[in-house]
C-alpha cells in the first residue's frame, strides 16, 4: 500500500506542473492588469512601472514561470501582490477553515443522502421514494448562493437562531492549535466556544452539502436498487434473512463502492462550490481567498491556490482508492 | 508669502466631538461594523481603500484629517500645518506626543513615513507624496516639505499619511507593522485577520475620545448586502456599510436599527474620450449630456438615493457654486439637433459599464441605451468584468464609459487626473485653457480665492463636456438603535464619532 501510494503521489508531480503551466498561460492571456487593480487609481505611470519591476512582471513570461517553478519546489509560491504575504502562509492560515467546511458539508450530505437513498430504494414508488427524488432534484438544481441567501434570511434575519456569517463569535478566545476550530475548542475544553463555532458552521455546511446530498441520494437509490436484484440477495432472502439485514449488510455494502467513488469526485466539486458559499457566508477559507485573488489579478495567489486545490483533489482520490480495499475485500492494491 | 492655512490647535479641532469625560462612566460596549472592502494586511501604506486607510489613521494618527463640521482640513496628529511660502509647508508636532508604547512621536517619524509612502514597493499610495521634492526634519517637532510647484492640496494629501515609528522600523523592518504596531491615534490595533476582520481598541486617555465611544471596534468584511443587513437585524453588527436602495425599507422597518444617509463625494459620470470618433466632436458629447433623463433614472432605478450633479462637485466640496445650475437639462430634441448639426446622426457607439461596482450600474446603463438612441446614437452596451474594464480605462482604451470617482472632498487631484493634459490616458482630454484654470486653482492658497478659481475651472469643464456629470449617490448606512452614529460623506467610521447609547 505504501509503495502504491508513493507511486501515485510521484505521478501527481507532472500533473501539478501541467496545471501550473496551464493556469500561468491562461493568466498571461487574460485581460486586466494586477498593477492597475492593486494600487490606487491615482498612481502615476512611473509608480506603476516601479511596482511592476518589484513584482517581476516585466520579466519575460517564460522566466517568470521558471522562477515560480524553481521556488515552488521548495514550497515557496511567492508573495501575494495584494496581501504582501507569502502565499503559502496565507493558504495554510485559511486551509483548515475550508477543509472543516468541506468535511462538515460531506458529513451533512452522507448523513442525509445515504439513509434517504437506501429508504427510497427499499420502497420504490412509495412516499419516501417520491420525497427522496424531489429532495435530491431540488438539491442538485438549486444554486448555492440562492439557498445561502434564503437560509441567511430565514435562520438569521427572521428567526434569529443562527449567525449570518463568519466562522466564530467575536472574542471567543480560542487559541489556534490545529486550525480546525471545532477541534481546537474541544482540545481546550471550551464547550461554549464549540457550540458557538458549530452554530457558525451549520448554515454554510448545510448549503454547501445540498448539492452533494442530492447526488448521493440519487446514486445510493440506484445502486442499492440494482444490488437488491442481484442473485446473492435472492439467496439471502431464500435463506430467510431479515429485510433490514439484507438491505444494509448485503445490498448497501455492495452498493457502497460506487457511492464512495462519487463522494471522492464530489469532494472536488465541493471545494469549487466553497468559493461561492464562503463568499456568501464571509467564511475565511481559501475559496473566498481565490475569488479575491482572481478579482485583483493576484497571480502568485491564484496559481498557489489552484495548485493546492489540485493537490487536495489528488489526495482525496488516493484516499478513496485506499478505502476501496476496506469496503470490498475483493479489491487488492498492488 | 507666509499665509497660514492650518494653524489650529489639534485639541481645538476635536472639541466638537469630545465629551466631558469626568461626567460619564466609561462604556465597555463593543461595536462591529460590516464593511464591503478588503482588509489586506498590517501595512498601513499598502492599500488605498478609504475605509481601511481611515482605520490606520485611528491607530497611528495621520498628519491631518478633514473636519466635516468645519468643511476644512485640520491637524490630526500634528499641532499645526502651515504654508511658509508657495513651495514650502511646515508641520509642527505637539509637545509630548506619545505612542501607545510610551515612545515619543518625532518629526523623523513623519519624514520616514513620507519616504516609505513615496519609495517603498509595498506602498500603494505613493501618489500622495508625488511632487514633493524634499522632506526634512528641522528638529524633533518640525518637518519641512518642499514641493516642486505650488500645491494647495498638501493638507489633503497629508490626511493619508499615517505616522509610523522610524526607530521601530529601523529595528524590525516590515515586521514592525505586525509585531509592534504602536501608533499615537485614539485607538490601538488589537487584531488583524487578513481578508476577514480588523479589531481596534480604545486608547484610554486620548483627548479625542469620550467615555461613551466604544471600547472595541471590529471592522468585518461582509461582501453581500443581504448578509450585512441580516447581520444588523440579528444584532451581530451595529453598523452596516452601503445598504442598497432595495434593502433600505427592510432596515427602516427593523425594531433595532435605522437608516442613516449622507451624500457621497463620488461623482458618477459618462466619460467620452475626444481622441476617438465621434467624441472628438463637442456636439456629440453635449448631445449625450442632453439625452440622459437623469431625474427618471434617479427616481425609478436609484429610488431617489442620489443627488443630481451640475458639474463634478456638489455642496460641501471645494469649487461648488450654488449659483451654477448647469447647462444640460434633459432635452432629447436638442440632443438630436446637436447630433444632426455635426452630421453624426446614427453614429455607432459602445457604452461600457462595470457590473456590480456601483449601485445599479448595469440597470442604469441599460436605461441609458434607449435614451441615447432616441437622440440619434446607435448604442451597443458592453459589460466587461471590472478588472478588464478598469485596466483598459487606465490605458485609455475605452472611448465611452460609465464610471465613478471618489475621494473628492478636495476635487483637485481627481480633476487634474481626468481632465488636465497628461493627467492620465483615461479620457485623454487636452485643453490649454482648462489646464491654465486647473493650475491656477492648485497654486492658490487662500481658500476663498481657490474656491472661485475652482468654480471657473468647473464651469469651463462642464461646457467642454469631456464627461457628462450624472449624480452623487446617497450612501445609506444601517445603524443600530443602541448607538449614535452619523455617517460622513467619505467612507469613514471613526471610533470617536460612534457613541454607545
pLDDT tens string B361-381: 999 999 999 999 999 999 999
User: Which residues 205-234 of A are in CB contact (within 8 Å) with B?
Assistant: none
Domain extents for chain B?
A: 30-204+482-500, 263-475
Which of A254-263, B295-304, B316-325 has the largest mean confidence? B295-304
Smallest CA–CA distance, residue B234 to chain A, in Å, is 6
Q: Would the CB atoms of A83 and B194 count as touching at under 8 Å?
A: yes
pLDDT, position B24:
61
Q: Which helix (H) or strand (E) holds A273?
A: helix A253-280
Chain B residues touching A51 at Cβ < 8 A: 121
Fold of the A95-294+309-327 domain: MetI-like fold (1.10.3720)
pLDDT, position B18:
37
Q: Would the CB atoms of A31 and B122 count as touching at under 8 Å?
A: no
Point out the least confidently predicted range of A40-54, A171-185, B291-305: A40-54
Q: Is the peptide bond before A194 cis (omega within 30 degrees of 0)?
A: no
Chain A residues touching B233 at Cβ < 8 A: 156-157, 160
Q: Would the CB atoms of B230 and A47 count as touching at under 8 Å?
A: no
Nearest to B221 among A37, A85, A282 (CB): A282
Local confidence band at B294 (pLDDT 50, 70, 90 cut-offs):
very high
pLDDT, position A48:
82
d(CA A12, CA A250): 36
Smallest CA–CA distance, residue A15 to chain B, in Å, is 29
Smallest CA–CA distance, residue A136 to chain B, in Å, is 27
Tell whether the model's pLDDT for residue B393 goes beyond 90.
yes
In chain A, the residue whose alpha carbon lies closest to the alpha carbon of B395 is A36
Q: Counting Cβ atoms within 10 Å, is residue A186 exposed (0-12), middle (13-18) or buried (19+)? A: middle
Smallest CA–CA distance, residue A148 to chain B, in Å, is 10
The stretch B179-185 carries a mean pLDDT of 97
User: Which residues 160-179 of A are in CB contact (within 8 Å) with B?
Assistant: 160, 163-166, 170-171
Tell whether the model's pLDDT for residue A136 goes beyond 50.
yes
Q: Would the CB atoms of A289 and B231 count as touching at under 8 Å?
A: no
Cβ atoms of residues B342 and B283 within 8 Å: yes
Q: Which of B251, B267, B391 to mutate to test the interface with A (most CBs of A within 10 A)?
A: B391
Tell whether the model's pLDDT for residue B11 goes beyond 70.
no
Chain B residues touching A296 at Cβ < 8 A: 387
Q: Would the CB atoms of B48 and A39 count as touching at under 8 Å?
A: yes
Local confidence band at B238 (pLDDT 50, 70, 90 cut-offs):
very high
User: Which residues 4-43 of B are in CB contact (within 8 Å) with A?
Assistant: 30, 32, 38, 40-41, 43
Model ipTM value: 0.82
Local confidence band at A195 (pLDDT 50, 70, 90 cut-offs):
very high
Mean pLDDT, chain A, rounded, equals 89
Smallest CA–CA distance, residue B208 to chain A, in Å, is 26
CATH class of the domain defined by B30-204+482-500: alpha beta
Local confidence band at A334 (pLDDT 50, 70, 90 cut-offs):
low
The cell numbers describing A126, all together, are: 412509495
pLDDT, position B72:
87
- Dump pLDDT digits (tens) for B340-365: 999 999 999 999 999 988 999 999 99
Q: Would the CB atoms of A282 and B196 count as touching at under 8 Å?
A: yes
The stretch B383-399 carries a mean pLDDT of 92
Q: Would the CB atoms of B124 and A149 count as touching at under 8 Å?
A: no
Q: Would the CB atoms of B121 and A51 count as touching at under 8 Å?
A: yes
Tell whether the model's pLDDT for residue B75 goes beyond 90.
yes
Mean pLDDT, chain B, rounded, equals 91
Tell whether the model's pLDDT for residue B17 goes beyond 60.
no
Distances (CA, A) of A21 to A25, A70, A269, B22: 6, 13, 22, 65
- Dump pLDDT digits (tens) for B407-460: 788 999 999 999 999 888 899 999 999 999 999 999 999 989 999 999 999 999
Q: Would the CB atoms of B227 and A170 count as touching at under 8 Å?
A: no
- SS3 per-residue string spanning B341-410: HCCCCCCEEEEECCCCCCCCHHHHHHHHHHHHHHCCCEEEEECCCHHHHHHHHHCCCCCEEEEEECCCCC
**A289 inside 8 A of chain B by CB:** yes
Local confidence band at B275 (pLDDT 50, 70, 90 cut-offs):
very high
Smallest CA–CA distance, residue B160 to chain A, in Å, is 12
pLDDT, position A35:
83
User: Which residues 314-373 of B are in CB contact (within 8 Å) with A?
Assistant: none
User: Which residues 116-175 of B are in CB contact (within 8 Å) with A?
Assistant: 121-122, 124-127, 130
Tell whether the model's pLDDT for residue B5 goes beyond 70.
no
Q: What's the pTM value of the predicted model, to 2 decimals?
A: 0.86
List the beta bridge partners of residue A330: none
Local confidence band at B16 (pLDDT 50, 70, 90 cut-offs):
very low
Q: How many CB atoms lie within 10 A of CB B215?
A: 18
- Dump pLDDT digits (tens) for A243-288: 888 888 888 988 888 888 888 888 888 887 889 999 999 999 999 9
The stretch B464-489 carries a mean pLDDT of 95
Give the DSSP per-residue string, B54-73.
HHHHHHH-BSEEEETTTTEE
How distant is the alpha carbon of residue A175 from its chain centre? 25
**B218 inside 8 A of chain A by CB:** yes
Q: Number of CB pairs < 8 Å for A and B?
A: 134
Nearest to B195 among A42, A165, A289 (CB): A289
d(CA B9, CA A273): 55
d(CA B199, CA B193): 9
- Dump pLDDT digits (tens) for A72-120: 888 899 999 888 889 999 999 999 999 999 999 999 999 999 999 999 9
CATH code that applies to domain B263-475: 3.10.105.10
List the beta bridge partners of residue B90: B82, B144
Nearest to A44 by CA among B400, B413, B352: B413
pLDDT, position B409:
85
Amino acid at each position: 500500500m505504501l509503495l502504491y501510494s508513493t507511486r501515485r503521489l510521484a505521478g501527481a508531480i507532472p500533473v501539478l506542473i501541467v496545471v501550473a503551466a496551464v493556469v500561468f498561460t491562461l493568466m498571461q492571456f487574460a485581460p486586466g492588469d494586477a498593477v492597475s487593480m492593486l494600487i490606487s487609481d491615482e498612481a502615476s505611470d512611473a509608480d506603476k512601472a516601479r511596482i511592476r519591476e518589484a513584482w517581476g512582471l516585466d520579466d519575460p513570461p517564460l522566466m517568470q514561470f521558471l522562477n515560480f517553478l524553481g521556488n515552488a519546489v521548495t514550497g515557496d509560491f511567492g508573495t501575494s501582490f495584494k496581501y504582501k504575504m507569502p502565499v503559502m502562509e496565507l493558504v495554510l492560515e485559511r486551509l483548515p477553515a475550508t477543509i472543516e467546511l468541506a468535511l462538515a458539508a460531506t458529513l451533512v450530505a452522507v448523513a442525509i443522502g445515504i439513509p434517504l437513498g437506501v429508504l427510497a430504494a427499499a420502497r420504490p414508488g412509495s412516499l419516501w421514494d417520491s420525497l427522496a427524488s424531489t429532495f435530491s432534484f431540488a438539491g442538485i438544481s438549486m444554486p448555492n448562493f440562492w439557498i445561502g441567501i434564503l437560509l441567511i434570511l430565514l435562520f438569521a434575519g427572521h428567526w434569529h437562531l443562527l449567525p449570518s456569517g463568519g466562522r466564530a463569535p467575536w472574542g471567543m478566545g480560542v487559541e489556534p492549535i490545529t486550525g480546525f476550530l471545532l477541534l481546537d475548542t474541544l482540545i481546550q475544553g471550551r464547550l461554549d466556544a464549540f457550540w458557538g463555532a458549530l452554530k457558525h458552521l451549520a448554515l454554510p455546511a448545510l448549503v454547501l452539502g445540498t448539492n452533494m446530498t442530492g447526488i448521493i441520494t440519487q446514486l445510493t437509490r440506484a445502486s442499492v436498487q440494482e444490488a437488491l436484484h442481484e442473485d446473492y440477495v435472492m439467496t439471502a432472502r431464500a435463506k430467510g434473512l431479515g429485510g433490514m439485514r439484507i438491505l444494509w449488510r448485503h445490498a448497501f455494502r455492495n452498493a457502497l463502492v460506487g457511492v464512495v467513488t462519487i463522494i471522492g469526485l464530489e469532494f472536488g466539486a465541493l471545494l469549487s462550490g466553497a468559493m461561492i458559499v464562503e463568499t456568501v457566508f464571509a467564511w475565511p477559507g481559501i475559496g473566498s481567498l481565490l475569488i479575491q485573488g482572481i478579482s485583483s489579478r493576484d497571480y502568485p495567489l491564484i496559481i498557489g491556490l489552484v495548485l493546492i486545490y489540485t493537490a487536495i483533489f489528488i489526495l482525496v482520490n488516493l484516499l478513496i482508492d485506499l478505502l476501496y480495499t476496506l469496503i470490498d475485500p475483493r479489491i487488492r492494491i498492488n | 508669502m507666509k499665509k497660514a492655512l492650518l494653524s489650529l490647535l489639534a485639541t481645538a479641532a476635536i472639541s466638537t466631538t469630545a465629551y466631558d469625560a469626568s461626567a460619564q462612566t466609561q462604556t465597555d460596549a463593543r461595536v462591529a461594523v460590516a464593511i464591503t472592502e478588503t482588509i489586506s494586511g498590517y501595512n498601513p501604506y499598502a492599500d488605498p481603500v478609504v475605509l481601511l486607510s481611515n482605520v490606520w489613521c485611528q491607530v497611528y494618527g495621520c498628519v491631518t484629517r478633514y473636519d466635516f463640521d468645519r468643511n476644512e482640513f485640520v491637524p490630526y496628529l500634528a499641532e499645526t500645518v502651515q504654508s511658509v511660502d508657495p513651495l514650502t509647508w511646515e508641520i509642527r508636532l505637539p509637545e509630548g506626543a506619545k505612542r501607545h508604547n510610551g515612545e515619543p512621536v518625532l518629526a523623523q517619524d513623519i519624514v520616514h513615513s513620507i519616504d516609505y509612502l513615496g519609495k517603498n514597493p509595498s506602498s500603494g499610495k505613493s501618489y500622495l507624496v508625488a511632487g514633493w521634492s524634499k522632506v526634512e526634519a528641522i528638529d524633533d517637532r518640525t518637518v519641512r516639505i518642499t514641493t516642486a510647484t505650488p500645491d494647495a492640496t498638501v493638507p489633503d494629501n497629508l490626511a493619508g499619511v499615517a505616522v509610523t515609528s522610524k526607530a521601530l522600523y529601523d529595528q524590525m523592518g516590515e515586521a514592525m507593522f505586525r509585531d509592534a504596531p504602536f501608533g499615537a491615534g485614539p485607538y490601538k490595533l488589537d487584531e488583524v485577520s487578513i481578508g476577514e476582520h480588523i479589531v481596534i481598541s480604545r486608547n484610554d486617555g486620548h483627548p479625542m475620545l469620550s467615555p461613551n465611544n466604544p471600547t472595541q471596534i471590529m471592522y468585518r468584511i461582509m461582501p453581500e448586502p443581504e448578509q450585512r443587513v441580516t447581520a444588523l437585524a440579528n444584532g451581530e453588527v451595529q453598523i452596516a456599510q452601503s445598504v442598497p436602495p432595495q434593502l433600505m425599507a427592510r432596515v427602516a422597518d427593523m425594531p433595532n436599527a435605522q437608516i442613516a444617509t449622507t451624500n457621497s463625494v463620488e461623482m458618477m459620470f459618462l466619460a467620452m474620450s475626444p481622441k476617438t470618433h465621434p467624441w472628438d466632436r463637442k456636439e456629440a458629447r453635449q448631445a449625450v449630456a442632453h439625452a440622459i433623463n437623469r431625474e427618471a433614472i434617479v427616481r425609478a432605478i436609484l429610488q431617489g438615493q442620489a443627488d443630481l450633479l451640475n458639474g463634478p462637485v456638489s455642496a460641501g466640496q471645494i469649487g461648488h457654486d450654488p449659483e451654477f445650475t448647469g447647462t444640460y437639462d434633459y432635452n432629447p430634441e436638442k440632443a438630436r439637433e446637436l447630433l444632426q448639426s455635426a452630421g453624426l446622426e446614427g453614429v455607432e457607439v459602445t457604452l461600457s459599464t462595470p457590473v456590480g461596482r456601483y449601485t445599479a450600474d448595469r440597470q442604469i446603463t441599460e436605461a441609458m441605451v434607449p435614451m441615447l438612441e432616441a437622440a440619434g446614437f446607435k448604442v451597443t452596451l458592453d459589460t466587461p468584468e471590472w478588472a478588464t474594464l478598469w485596466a483598459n480605462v487606465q490605458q485609455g482604451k475605452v472611448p465611452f464609459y460609465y464610471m465613478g470617482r471618489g475621494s473628492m472632498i478636495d476635487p483637485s487631484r481627481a480633476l487634474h487626473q481626468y481632465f488636465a493634459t497628461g493627467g492620465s490616458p483615461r479620457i485623454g482630454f487636452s485643453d490649454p485653457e482648462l489646464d491654465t484654470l486647473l493650475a491656477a486653482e492648485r497654486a492658490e492658497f487662500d481658500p476663498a480665492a481657490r474656491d472661485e478659481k475652482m468654480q471657473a475651472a468647473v464651469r469651463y469643464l462642464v461646457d467642454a463636456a469631456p464627461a457628462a456629470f450624472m449624480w452623487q449617490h446617497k450612501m445609506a448606512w444601517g445603524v443600530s438603535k443602541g448607538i449614535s452614529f452619523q455617517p460622513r460623506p467619505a467612507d469613514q467610521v471613526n471610533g470617536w464619532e460612534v457613541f454607545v447609547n
